[in-house]
Amino acid sequence: MKKFFKKILFPFRVSLFLYVAAAGLCFVVIDHTRADIKRFNYLREYADYITDFASGKNHFSLPNTKRALLYYEHLMKYYPNIPTINSSAGFCYYHLGRYDKALEFYMKAMSFYNKFFGFYYNSALICIQQGKFADAIPILQQALNVNPGPTLYYPSLGFPRDEPVNETRLQDEDVRVKYIARAYTQCFKWLLLCYEKSGDYENMRQTALAAISQKKEGSAIFYYYAGLADFHLGNEDQAVYFFEKCIKRDYSFQQAYDYLEHTLEKAGAPDAAAIIAARKKKLKQMGLLSKAHADLNTRAEPKLFFYPPQRITGPKGAGFLL
């Protein structure tokens, strides 16, 4: 009789076990989802912090940057292929001093979307910060060929600048164009620095001449690099011409005076070299010379572009634009 009841009750026992197991599993899944939502809500404010920091509205905070990184890493679990989420993680890693990880995430972002100038610009600067000048060269070359349009019209874009700018003004297309044009000009300067550090004087000369022909802002430094390239290539006459052009545009450019004097001596013109030396000495006594122009790699840590992920709502619920 007992065996009979066992056979009858066995399916019910199995069903009860499966029901309890399924209920337990649902509880775990629901509880995990709740925990995820709480985590998102807690960390979301730090994404706002990093956006404000990129815009120059507040100062760097190590704890806040770490929490912002947690937010973007959490987002990537659900949106692993969104370029701006990857680039935002790269931005945080950069400011935490973890350059290898920053570069990894910017390269990922570029693989998902290759039309943002800032992805290239930032990646190249990270290479330069690590002294990897040869690695930065092809990235900078690509950056100079990227159409500025997608970056120009990206909402809430954080521009690389040293001073905060009123957000209302940044809605003005002319202001945005100005900042992006400056970044493209800076891109030329970084590329010239990389050629100099790599000893590639022929390409350095061609790039400097290209910048001069495009009438880039701050032309003195491009004339300086053209002269420096010709100096190393043994073209003394051309070097003298470019150094003189540099000094006419910026009389405080000490390196240009140094190389102009040295080039004239090398070319067998000691009297002309002596005149330059005397002028340089007088300007130095007056405190009017500066060595900061060409020492791009000794400047304060460069600012990066920041593309905050843009949330959109579609027929399938919340998502992200790029």
Q: Dump pLDDT digits (tens) for 189-245.
A: 999 999 999 999 999 999 999 999 988 877 899 999 999 999 999 999 999 999 999
Question: In the prediction, which pLDDT does 314 show?
Answer: 41
Residue at 229 is within a domain:
yes
Give residue 158's pLDDT. 80
12 inside domain: no
Q: What is the dihedral of CA 219, 191, 140, 47, to 10 degrees?
A: -80
pTM score of the predicted model: 0.81
**C-alpha to C-alpha distance for 27 and 40, rounded to whole angstroms:** 20
Residue 40 lies in a domain: no
Annotate 38-82 with DSSP letters as a single string: HHHHHHHHHHHHHHHHHTTSS---HHHHHHHHHHHHHHHHH-TT-
Query: Is residue 255 a part of any domain in this protein?
Result: yes
Q: Is residue 41 part of a domain?
A: no
Q: What are phi and psi of 295, to 5 degrees?
A: -85, 60
Measure CA 104 to chain center: 13
CATH number for position 209: 1.25.40.10
Return per-residue pLDDT of the chain as tens, 322 residues.
545 444 554 454 545 555 555 555 554 444 455 555 566 666 778 888 998 888 778 888 999 999 999 999 988 988 899 999 999 999 999 999 999 999 999 999 999 999 999 999 999 999 998 999 999 999 999 999 998 888 888 877 887 765 555 566 666 778 788 888 888 988 999 999 999 999 999 999 999 999 999 888 778 999 999 999 999 999 999 999 999 999 999 988 999 999 999 999 999 999 999 999 999 999 888 888 887 665 555 444 668 888 888 764 444 444 555 6
| pLDDT digits 0-9 by tens, 18-40 | 555 555 555 444 445 555 556 66
Which domain, by its residues, includes 103? 47-321
> Does residue 19 lie within any of the structural domains?
no
**Distance separating alpha carbons of residues 24 and 18, to the nearest angstrom:** 10
In a domain, 76, yes or no: yes
Q: Number of C-alpha atoms within 13 angstroms, CB side, residue 137?
A: 15
Closest CA to 35 of 46, 43, 24: 43
Residue 5 within a domain: no
> Into how many domains does the chain fold?
1
Residue 205: the pLDDT is 97
Give Cα separations from 24 to 13, 17, 20, 35, 270 (angstroms).
16, 11, 6, 16, 91
CA 160 to each of CA 53, 119, 186, 234: distance values in angstroms, whole numbers, following the listed order? 11, 12, 10, 37
Mean pLDDT of the chain: 82
